[in-house]
């Protein structure tokens, strides 16, 4: 299996990785392992950070610490890099929505803008074909 040197993560793969990675696909798990060893880069869109915070707020997920502490821990590894939200991404998200989820549109726009695959198992995103996916 070819190791991807850089990719953008969707929300659920990042949370699966944080929970131990058992729910990740083989390629996604290999990419996160490479990032942990600092052999690959994983970009985390601002939309993912915001979605994680909303899920934690309504208690759909338990990070076992504050959202701030979760992301400070994650970004202490230089292989994980946040991606700021730009006007270009917002406009691209509006033009190329893979489904009705605004977070997915922004996350896909981040991957498209960076010209990198998106780590996701979201079938709607994969079927839309606007971004290469890795799972």
**What is the rounded average pLDDT of the residues 118-134?**
96
Q: Are the C-beta atoms of residues 92 and 66 closer than 8 Å to each other?
A: no
Report the pLDDT value the prediction gives residue 2, as an integer from 0 to 100.
60
The percent of residues in the chain predicted with pLDDT above 70, rounded, is 98
**pLDDT tens sequence across 10-65:** 999 999 999 999 999 999 999 999 999 999 999 999 999 999 999 999 999 999 99
Provide the 10 A C-beta neighbour count for residue 94.
12
Name all domains of the chain by residue range, CATH numbers in brackets. 6-134 (3.40.50.1010)
pTM recorded for the entire structure: 0.95
Report the pLDDT value the prediction gives residue 3, as an integer from 0 to 100.
66
Structure tokens at 2: 């070819």
Q: How far apart are CA 81 and CA 77, in angstroms?
A: 9
């Amino acid at each position: 299996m070819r190791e991807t040197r850089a990719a953008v993560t969707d929300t659920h793969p990042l949370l699966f990785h944080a929970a131990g990675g058992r729910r990740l696909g083989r390629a996604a798990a290999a990419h996160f392992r490479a990032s942990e060893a600092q052999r690959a880069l994983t970009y985390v869109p601002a939309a993912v950070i915001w979605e994680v915070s909303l899920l934690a707020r309504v208690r759909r997920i338990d990070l076992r610490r504050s959202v701030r502490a979760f992301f400070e821990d994650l970004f202490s590894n230089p292989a994980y890099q946040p991606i700021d939200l730009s006007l270009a991404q917002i406009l691209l998200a509006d033009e190329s929505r893979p489904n009705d989820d605004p977070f997915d549109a922004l996350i896909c726009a981040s991957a498209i803008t960076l010209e990198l695959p998106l780590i996701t198992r979201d079938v709607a995103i994969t079927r839309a074909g606007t971004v290469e996916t890795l799972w």
